[in-house]
Structure formats: C-alpha cells, structure tokens
Structure 1
C-alpha cells in the first residue's frame, strides 16, 4: 500500500472523534434535564449513557478496521477509513463521559481522581507498546485486532455496571461525594 494511502484512515478517525465530541456536547442537554428533574442534585450515573454508546461504537470500528485493513490489496482504502468514524466516535464517547463521571463522583477530590486516571492511562499507554508489536507480528493485524475487539466488547459491561452499581460503589468510598 502506498504511504499516502496508508495514512488516509487517520482522517476517518479524526472525523469520528469530532462527531463523538459533538455527540457528548449534544448529550449534555439530557444530563441538564435530569439534573433539573433532580432539583440540582448531582447523580454521576447520569453522565454514562453517552459512554455506553461509545463503548458499543468502539468495537464496531475496531473489528471493522482490523479485518478490512488487513486485506488492503483487495479492499478499497475508503472501507477501513470509514471504520475510523466508529472508532473515533467510540474513543471520544468513552473518554469524555468517563472524566465527567469521575469529576461528578469525587467533587472535592476531582483533581486527584483525574490525576490517578491519567497516571493509569499513561502507564497502560506506556506498557502496551512493549508487547503489542510482538502480538501484531505473531498474530497479524486481523487476529490481534480481533482479540482487542473482543476484549472491547467485554468492556461494554463496564459503563453498564457503573450505571447499575455505581451508587453502591461510591457509598463504600470515603472520598466520593454524596449529598445524603
């Protein structure tokens, strides 16, 4: 594949991230409605519906890309590029609501909670390249991508679990914010 064509999927990813960011901004209206219905009382789980949408979109884009990008000789470049729309949308749809959830959950300690999140995200971001190149070389793009895609499908349960059990988890924390 020509170098210029190989970079085109980044356009789909960037456009998907813009759409995901716009979706999160649009979803804020629903959050404000719920906040008003609750007399201004913050319920962090009300931040999570866009995250569930993002968690569903991300594996769609990831699996689409890993299988269409692998057969670049027989599949037009636009097909994996379009998959970037879903992947980018999913990334922003997960990232923004997760930070909002952390801030709403730990109001007084939000900076520390976000710093801990950033530390863990950076640690994983630094550690994964140490083995990811070996994984992709031995399993090839399609199978390594399938493994990551299936793992991301399992992780769809995380925001759903926080919607269901988040209040109970926060009640066990001495740092979580609670109006009760």
Structure 2
C-alpha cells in the first residue's frame, strides 16, 4: 500500500465521537491530568453504556450485569473493564451469551477471580485502551504499527480523567 496523504485529525476534551463513519486510526495522543486516566476507543454507532454496569469474573467466565440490557445471545460487543485490586478482565471484542434480562456472559482469554467491578460496553467493537498515571500531565503518543486500526462504523472515545485526546485518521 502506498503512502496515504489525505489524513485528518480529530480532537476531544471529553468523551464523544471523533467520527461517525468508517476510518483507519493512524495515530493517537492524549494528555493526562492530576488523577490516573483512561482512553478507550470503540468502533460503534451507539454511545457506550456505563451507568450501573458491573462485572465479575470466575476462571474464564465474565458475568456482566446491567438492568434490562436488551442484548441477545450472539451480539458482538466492545467492552472495557475497570480494575479491581490491580487486576481486570481483558478489554476486547466479544460475542456474548444472554443469561438473563439483566445479565450476560463472555469468555475471557485469561483466567482470573475478580469481585464485582465497573465496566463499559457498546454494541460494536473495542479498538484500544491506554492509561495514564496520576500526575501524568504530558502528551502521550503511543505507537500504532502498520496501517493503523480499522474502524468500520465510527470512533467513539471514552475519556476518564484526561485533559484531551486526538486521533489521526484516514
């Protein structure tokens, strides 16, 4: 593939959409704050669900709880898991199994034991997660290798305790 010259930049100071159409994310940067922060990118056309979402993990099974989640078995979701006592389930894109009106499960590649902790999910795909430590007020520019990360629907940024985030896309 030849060099792509028609790249663009998106900037956010809080959670939201960078773009709502297919793109390839070529680069990411973000600036932290006084508190530890997180940047999570999802490929989705719907705002991620974060209110009153919890998860627990036993071995490889992660059980997610959200009142009246409305999902069905076979739905593909992108999900970000908060840390509990220094450990979390593995962020990623998963096919879920509906186990009740308020619960669904997914299979994590890693086996762990985690008590109830917060999570954020969306119908779509998880693209990436980056974290900053407390007091990291500098611009962080992680490397994205190859041709970048393909988002087929749009790019939503979930930002926690960050000053700003940017993507370069084409």
TM-score bracket for the superposition, by shorter chain length: under 0.3
Q: Which has the higher helix share?
A: 1
Higher relative contact order (CA 8 A, sep 6+): 2
TM-score of the superposed pair, with normalisation by structure 1: 0.20
Q: Which has the larger radius of gyration?
A: 1
The structure with the largest strand share of the pair is 2
Q: TM-score, normalised by structure 2?
A: 0.20
